[in-house]
Each structure stands twice: as C-alpha cells, then as structure tokens.
Structure 1
Amino acid sequence: MLPLAIPNEEVVAIEHVILDFNGTLAVDGKLISGVVPRLEALSSLVTVHVITADTNASARSELASLPCTLKIIGRDKQDQAKLEYARSLGLGRVLAVGNGRNDGLLLKNAALGICLIQQEGAAVASMLAADIVCVDIKDALDLLLQPHRIVATMRN
C-alpha cells in the first residue's frame, strides 16, 4: 500500500497503480529505458496493472518478466473498459497513469490521475481529466516512489 498525504484531503491509500502501455510505458511498442527498475520497485508497494489496446501487439512480450498484471482490451469502448477495470479494483484505491483519449475516464475517476506528454503526445481531454501532468514516465513513477513530491505538486 502507498499512502498519499494530499494536502487538504484525507490520506489516500493507493493499492493499485494502473498504467497504459503505448505512449505511457512504451514508445512504438518498446519499453522506455529506465521503466523496468522503477516498476520493479513500485511492485513492492502496490499491485501494478497494465491495461492496453496493445496497438503494436508487443505488450505481452515487453512485460513478460515484470511483476505486473496485463489486461489487453478490445477495439470498442476502450475508455469504458479501462474505467470498469479500475472500478473492479475500487476506484478510491487506484492511481492511474496514461496519455490517450481512452485513458480520460480512468484518469478522472481514479483516486489520483497522472497524464503523460511524451513522444506520442497526449489527448487534451485526458490532460484536463488528470490531477497531475508529467513529461516523462520516469518522473511519474518517481512521484510514486518519492511521494513527498506529490505533496509539493498538489498543495493548495
């Protein structure tokens, strides 16, 4: 469990981190350098989930050795599929990270949502739905591994 003491709010007990794959953990279907050790460290604190439409059909092989649960979703209603997956875990215990339009509902409804703007860009609607925006997955994962950084970002 990862307790997040967000200023002016109750402590949020994050048990699950849901990550998108392409545009978030990977570019062109390949994991971004530096992601693996951070996911390994994070997995000792929370359950890591990767939910993806798997545009490049590489998520399974890229994530095979990592301690995470992979969920590949279909082509239709992807935003709803991601939200329903998070609901099954308990939205109040989920921190979500993504960049695409199909991540917007998840980012908005999770206890905390982080939108990434990396090489593949980010959907504006998802940026507006998120609580935090980062420009590098390593920075986003480091926020979780060093939660005092979230406090600095979220204080009012």
Structure 2
Amino acid sequence: MLEIDIPGHGRLCLKYIVSDYNGTLACDGKLFPEIDPLLRKLSADLEIHVITADTFGIAEKQLSDLPVKLVVLPQENQDHGKLDYIKKLGASSVASLGNGRNDKLMLKESALGICLLQAEGSNVLSLMESDIVCKSAKDALELFLNPKRLIATLRK
C-alpha cells in the first residue's frame, strides 16, 4: 500500500495500479523496455493489474514473467468493462493509467487517474477526466516511487 497526504487534496491510500496496455505501457503491442524494472519495483507495494483489449494479441507474452495480473476484455463496451473492474477492486484505492477513449471512465472514477500522451496520442476526453497527464509511462510509474512528485502536482 502507498499512503500519501496531499495538502488541500486529502489522503491517497493506494493498493492497486490498474493500467491500460497499448498506448500506455506499450506501443504496437510491445512493452516499453524501461517499464519492466519499474513494474517489478512497484509490485513490492502495489498490486498491478493490466487491463486491455489486446489489439495486437501479444500482451500475455509480453507480460508473462512480470508480477502483474493481465485481464483481456472483450471488444464491446470496454469503457464500462474497465470501470466495472476498478469498482470491484475498490476505486478509492486504485491509481489508473490510460490514454484511450475507453479509459475515460476508469480515469475519472479512480482515486488517481493518470493520462499518458505518448506515440499513440491521447483521447482528449480521457485527458480531461484525469488528475495528472504524463509524457511517458516511465514518468507516470516513477511518480509512485517518488511520492513527493505527486504531492507537488496535486496540492492546492
């Protein structure tokens, strides 16, 4: 668990990171190389879930030796599938990462929603529903290893 007191915002008590895969942790189905060690470090304190439509069909292979739970969603209603998933975990203890339109509801409902703006781009509606926008998955994941960055960004 990661607990962070944010002045004027309140206390974040995070148990989970729930992340989209393509466009967030990967590009064209391939995991960004710098993500592997970050997920390993973070898994000591947070349970990591990757939820995806697996557009390229290789997410399982790419994540097979990492300490993450992979969930592949059906093609229909992915936005609600992701929302339902974080609600089952307890949205108030979830930090979510995503970039696509189907991440919008998850980003909005999570205790902390982080939108990524990388090679695949970002859906503007998802960006508007996020608490933080990062230029890379590496930067986003490093926020949890350096919580004062979260405090600096979220404080009122």
TM range (shorter): over 0.9
Q: Per the alignment, in what secondary structure is the counterpart of residue 5 of structure 1?
A: strand
Q: Per the alignment, in what secondary structure is the counterpart of residue 38 of structure 2?
A: helix
Higher mean C-alpha deviation, range 9-18 or range 135-144: 9-18
- Equivalents in 2 of 1:98, 1:115: separation in Å? 5
Counterpart position of 1:69? 69
Counterpart position of 1:79? 79
Counterpart position of 2:96? 96
Any gaps of 5 or more consecutive residues in structure 1? none
**RMSD of aligned alpha carbons:** 0.6
Are 1:32 and 2:32 matched, yes or no? yes
Matched AA of 1:4: I
Counterpart position of 1:58? 58
Task: Give 1:6 shift.
Answer: 2.1
Task: Give 1:27 shift.
Answer: 0.3
TM-score by length of 1: 0.98
Q: Kindly, what percent of the aligned residue pairs are identical?
A: 47
- Runs of 4+ in structure 1 deviating by more than 3 angstroms, as ranges, are none
Contact kept, 8 Å, 2:9 with 2:154, in 1: the verdict is: no
Contact kept, 8 Å, 2:9 with 2:155, in 1: the verdict is: no
- Equivalents in 1 of 2:4, 2:58: separation in Å? 32
Q: Per the alignment, in what secondary structure is the counterpart of residue 51 of structure 1?
A: strand
- Equivalents in 2 of 1:104, 1:37: separation in Å? 27
Matched AA of 2:131: D
Task: Give 1:83 shift.
Answer: 0.4
Counterpart position of 1:132? 132
TM-score by length of 2: 0.98
**Counterpart mapping for 1:43-54 below 5 A:** 43-54=43-54
- Equivalents in 2 of 1:75, 1:11: separation in Å? 35
Any gaps of 5 or more consecutive residues in structure 2? none
